[in-house]
């Protein structure tokens, strides 16, 4: 009797397992064609050229040297157009309305208008177009998808680049490092001591001028004019919008009346900007 009951239980379990298997198999079958999303075309067809797949795009020669060194903006934007088309959210996930709050980069008088995205602030906003000539490959120098970067960046060349193909020590830090007010001989940070200098950087720098702005990613004359109008134009890049706690080790360009002795802080520093940034250097134009 017990053996009969055991056999019935086994049969029931087997039947249940078979039924579950059939049900799962039906569920796993491909959906009808009408319900399936269209596949991305990877081969040419009558509709037009092939769409590149992700891996082919990553390893496109344009992302590497030497092609990246002469890449034109329109070549980059052919695939990365969203960096200029994206907009700041009208309302954050936390419910804050962009129109009613200020972002950190809006704190200085040189920024006007609504909040903008990162790339738009550096490429197409009115102030950017007035004083900058940044190109995609000003910051993006090519990449290796396997590389990473130290955060925060070091004050020298660490030999790494971000996976977004940017070395912050060679790009961001130029304009967003800390203002080295002690090295400049100020009695206190600029925000505290600017009243002593009538709020103008040109109180000192009208007579102490270098060639620092004479690089092909800046508009030298426009920067000079902006500095005459408002010292926030100077301070904005020289400490007013610091992303990092360290200062950028600028090349020590010679100026008229400069002493022959090299101070300790300048020893080992270059006397020119990177060759690719020199005015007149062969570079891609937007």
State yes or no: pLDDT of 247 exceeds 60: yes
Weakest-pLDDT range from 6-10, 67-71, 222-226, 237-241: 6-10
Look at residue 141 and tell me whether its pLDDT is greater than 80: yes
d(CA 113, CA 106): 9
Spatial contact of 169 and 157, defined as CB atoms under 8 Å apart: yes
> What number is the average pLDDT over the span 155-170?
67
Q: Is 272:251 a contact under the CB 8 Å cutoff?
A: yes
- Give the pLDDT of residue 284: 42
Name the strand (E) or helix (H) holding 18. Answer: helix 2-28
Please give the Cα distance from 254 to 109 (Å, whole number): 31
Give the residue with greater pLDDT, 80 vs 22. Answer: 80
pLDDT above 60 (res 2): no
pLDDT confidence tier of residue 166, bands split at 50, 70 and 90 = confident
Rounded distance, CA 239 to CA 236, Å? 6
Tell me what pLDDT residue 50 has.
57
Of 95-99, 167-171, 175-179, the range with the lowest mean pLDDT is 167-171
Q: Who contacts 142 (Cβ-Cβ below 8 Å, separation ≥6)?
A: 63, 64, 65, 68, 69, 161, 165
* Integer Cα distance of 103 and 223 in angstroms: 23
Q: Which residue has the higher pLDDT, 190 or 209?
A: 190
**CB distance 246 to 178 below 8 Å:** yes
Cβ atoms < 10 Å from Cβ of 42: 11
CA dihedral (118, 122, 127, 133) in degrees, to 10, reads: -170
What's the Cα-to-Cα distance from 195 to each of 83, 185, 231, rounded to whole Å? 39, 15, 12
Q: How far apart are CA 133 and CA 284, in angstroms?
A: 11
CA dist., res. 272 & res. 171, Å (int): 16
What residues pair up with 215 in beta bridges, in sequence order?
278
The domain ranges of the chain are 54-277
Mean pLDDT score, 255-262: 83
How far out from the chain centre does Cα 86 lie? 14
Question: For residues 186 and 194, is the Cβ–Cβ distance under 8 A?
Answer: no
Decide if pLDDT at 233 tops 50: yes
Contacts of 148 (CB under 8 A, 6+ apart): 160, 162, 163
Using alpha carbons only, give the angle 138, 179, 171 rounded to the nearest 5 degrees: 15
Out of 21-30, 168-177, 219-228, least confident range: 21-30
Q: Mean per-residue pLDDT for 79-104?
A: 90
Residue 238 has pLDDT above 90, yes or no: no
* pLDDT in the model for residue 255: 77
Q: List, for residues 27-77, the tens digit of each pLDDT value.
A: 434 434 333 333 333 344 445 455 568 888 888 899 888 999 999 999 999
């Amino acid at each position: 009797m017990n053996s009969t009951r055991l056999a019935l239980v086994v049969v029931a379990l087997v039947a249940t397992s078979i039924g579950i298997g059939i049900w799962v198999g039906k569920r796993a079958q491909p959906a009808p064609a009408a319900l399936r999303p269209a596949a991305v075309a990877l081969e040419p067809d009558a509709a037009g050229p092939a769409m590149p797949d992700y891996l082919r795009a990553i390893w496109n020669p344009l992302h590497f040297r030497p092609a990246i060194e002469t890449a034109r903006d329109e070549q980059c934007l052919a695939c990365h157009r969203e960096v200029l088309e994206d907009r700041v959210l009208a309302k954050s996930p936390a419910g804050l309305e962009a129109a009613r709050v200020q972002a950190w980069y809006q704190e200085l008088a040189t920024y006007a208008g609504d909040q903008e995205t990162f790339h738009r602030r550096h490429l197409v906003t009115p102030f950017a177009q007035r004083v900058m000539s940044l190109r995609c490959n000003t910051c993006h120098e090519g990449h290796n998808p396997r590389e990473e970067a130290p955060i925060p960046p070091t004050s020298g060349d660490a030999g790494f680049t971000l996976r977004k193909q940017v070395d912050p020590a060679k790009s961001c830090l130029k304009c967003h490092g800390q203002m080295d007010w002690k090295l400049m001989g100020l009695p206190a940070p600029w925000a505290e001591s600017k009243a002593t200098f009538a709020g103008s950087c040109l109180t000192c720098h009208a007579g102490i001028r270098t060639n620092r702005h004479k690089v092909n990613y800046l508009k030298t004359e426009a920067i000079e004019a902006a500095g005459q109008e408002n010292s926030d134009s100077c301070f904005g890049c020289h400490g007013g919008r610091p992303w990092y706690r360290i200062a950028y080790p600028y090349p020590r360009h010679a100026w008229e009346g400069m002493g022959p002795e090299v101070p300790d802080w300048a020893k080992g520093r270059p006397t020119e900007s990177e060759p690719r940034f020199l005015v007149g250097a062969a570079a891609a134009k937007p």
